[in-house]
Amino acid sequence: MKEYFELVEDNVKVVFEYIGEGYDGGDPEDTKLLRFDVFAHKSLNNPYSEDSIKDDGFGYMLDSSYCTHLPLNLPEDVINKALRVIMNEVKYEVIAGHPIKRICEHLSWLCPDDFIGK
C-alpha cells in the first residue's frame, strides 16, 4: 500500500504521509492516519520556511505538519482531492511569505466525510 502522496504547484509542495500514527498508537489494529506537511521552494524566500533545504530545493514550512482524520486506506482519488484542498488553502499564503499555522490547524480536522460522495 502506498504511504506517500504529494502535490507540487507554483513552488509549493503538499505531502501526505503515513508515519505510524493512529487514534491509539499502541493498538496494532488501529486506524492508520495520514499526516500532511507543507514545503516552500527556496526560490520563494518564505521567511517561515526552514533553512534546511532538501535536495529538491524545498524547505519545510514551520508549523505545517499535522495528523488528519484521513485513513491511509482511502481510495487514492480521495487522497488526491484532500491534497488539492490543502494546496488551495495554503498556496497563496506560502507564496506571499505568510505563516500558515492557523490554516494547517484547521485542515487537520479533514475527515473522509469531507470527500466521500462529493
Helix (H, G, I), strand (E, B) or coil at 104: helix
* pLDDT above 80: residue 117: no
What is the spatial distance between Cα 14 and Cα 60, in angstroms, rounded to a whole number? Answer: 10
pLDDT at 1: 76
**Which tens digit of pLDDT belongs to each residue from 7-16?**
999 999 999 9
DSSP 41-76: EGGG--TTEEEEE-TTSEEEETT--EEEEEETTS-H
Average pLDDT of 69-78? 94
Give the three cell numbers for residue 114. Answer: 469531507
pLDDT at 118: 60
Helix (H, G, I), strand (E, B) or coil at 76: helix
Helix (H, G, I), strand (E, B) or coil at 78: helix
**Which tens digit of pLDDT belongs to each residue from 79-95?**
999 999 999 999 999 99
Q: 25 pLDDT band (50/70/90 cuts)?
A: low
